[in-house]
Amino acid sequence: MDLINNLSLGFGVAFTLQNLLYAFIGCLLGTLIGVLPGIGPVATIAMLLPATYALPPIAALIMLAGIYYGAQYGGSTTAILVNLPGESSSVVTVIDGYQMARKGRAGPALAAAGLGSFFAGCVGTLILAAFAAPLTEVAFKFGPAEYFSLMVLGLIGAVVLASGSLIKAVGMIVLGLLMGLIGTDVNSGVARYSFDIPELTDGIGFIVVAMGVFGYGEIIANLGQPEDKREVFTGKVKGLFPTGEDFRNMIPAVLRGTTIGSCLGILPGGGALLAAFAAYTIEKKTKLRPGEVPFGQGNIRGVAAPESANNAGSQTSFIPLLTLGIPPNAVMALMVGAMTIHNIQPGPQVMTSNPELFWGLIASMWLGNAMLIILNLPLIGMWIKLLTVPYRWLFPAIILFCAIGVYSTNNNTFDIWLVGFFGVVGYMFIKLGMEPAPLLLGFILGPMMEENLRRALLLSRGDWTVFVTRGLSASLLAAAVVLLIIVLLPSVKSKREEAFVEE
């Protein structure tokens, strides 16, 4: 079978002692930074990227996969223990997870999140491997018009799920797209918006934007809050492992969550987030077993289902990235940037031209996931301890590592001035209630969108109707419109605002 052959090729590449070590280090670092309150996965990954620079591509990807999963899991840990969702998709985990922690059941909650995520990750990897090849075939039928429409759909999908005002989120995307255009235009060689600063002719590095807006901006906002309201449950964590009863409740929830996550994750836009919400809603609708804790008061299913859905979703969201080269969310946009640094341009050609890398990457995704379980279940106690480190020691270290990371990207102090600027901008975004994630997605997609628009219009001789006369492109745009209409429907609109009210 092709699938087995491909996967074994991938695992053959990934399974060396050295790569396992990189996966381990990646996971360790990812969790270490991701667990810190106030640092979401985007900031974590941006901060740790420089650690992979010196590695060969495959090792770097494996380490990145480790960092990615570590950061995600670290985010769940903070969600459960500190009642602080590090990212929007763990918003629902907080509801029951934090209640479990308050009842001294933080251990089982973290284990449920970990085990559920691992199972979902395995399924997601299989789906990814199975669908990648046929979808790549489809990708080769894509012309520039289709790519452009797909990006529009992806961007719309991303804002629909962003919290807060829809139109402000659309504005953030456009702003991101514009910022992505700064630098030399590939076609004409004109340095756009560079103000004669030589460093700007290469464009702004995405790490600079990510660290400034997500890292610095968030830390300044955190410090602006009155002295810590966060409570950490350190003393009461006992009994790490879920009981038999927990397992009986958990398993069906994990299965349901995984199914939902795998399906929704493929959608461009924040599939993982939608999946987590959907999974939690479905769990709430199912009947409680006798003696089970109600939802909202620490039901283990309320942790297991959204966490597995989230992880399955983020796994399958690699499908649009790897087959079409289009990142579906801000975290994936960062991964694209990371891959480009290692001279890998994600897209359909990777699979045909460099199958070892492609399948190695898929195998490393699984490896990162597996490493997480091995690493985190025994070390939960340690992560909890880390949460008690006073914030006044943490934030100088975080700022410092951001600055070092930014500098090491180009060995240029100009990037340090720029990250300071984006820190101020990021803080302003937070103060004005502007969601920064769509900005990053637009920033990465900007040049790609322009290029595809240019080609599509060149082929059609300047005729804009090409986007609606080509079947595939028209249906992608139609999907984007439908998505917008659904969100703007009064009944959905109020529900959506309700869902984000907690943030």
Query: What is the contact surface with another protein in residues (CB under 8 A)?
Result: 50-51, 53-54, 165, 167-168, 170-171, 174-175, 177-178, 181, 185, 187-188, 190, 192-193, 216, 219-221, 223-224, 227, 391-393, 395-397, 399-400, 402-404, 407-408, 411, 413, 416-417, 419-420, 423-424, 427-428, 431-434, 449-450, 453-454, 457-458, 460-464
Distances (CA, A) of 43 to 3, 127, 477: 35, 28, 32
8 Å CB contact between 487 and 160: yes
In the complex, the smallest distance separating the C-beta of residue 222 from another protein, rounded to whole angstroms, is 8
Over the Cα atoms of the chain, what is R_g? 22
Q: Say how far apart CA 192 and CA 63 lie, in whole Å.
A: 35
In the complex, the smallest distance separating the C-beta of residue 443 from another protein, rounded to whole angstroms, is 12
Maximum distance among all Cα pairs of the chain, rounded to whole angstroms: 71
Closer residue to another protein in complex, CB, 397/488: 397
Residue 413, class by beta-carbon neighbours within 10 Å (0-12 exposed, 13-18 middle, 19+ buried)?
Answer: exposed
Closer residue to another protein in complex, CB, 3/488: 488
Closer residue to another protein in complex, CB, 302/426: 426
8 Å CB contact between 378 and 28: no
In the complex, the smallest distance separating the C-beta of residue 13 from another protein, rounded to whole angstroms, is 23
Instruction: Name the nearest CA neighbour of 333 among 474, 497, 449.
Output: 449
In the complex, the smallest distance separating the C-beta of residue 432 from another protein, rounded to whole angstroms, is 4
8 Å CB contact between 277 and 307: no
In the complex, the smallest distance separating the C-beta of residue 293 from another protein, rounded to whole angstroms, is 34
Q: Name residue 50's beta-bridge partners.
A: none
Closer residue to another protein in complex, CB, 399/472: 399
In the complex, the smallest distance separating the C-beta of residue 378 from another protein, rounded to whole angstroms, is 24
Closer residue to another protein in complex, CB, 269/426: 426
In the complex, the smallest distance separating the C-beta of residue 175 from another protein, rounded to whole angstroms, is 6
Closer residue to another protein in complex, CB, 130/424: 424
Closer residue to another protein in complex, CB, 103/168: 168
8 Å CB contact between 277 and 315: no
Residue-by-residue DSSP string for 264-333:
HHTSTTTHHHHHHHHHHHHHHHSPPPTTPPPTTS--THHHHHHHHHHHHHHHHTHHIIIII----SHHHH
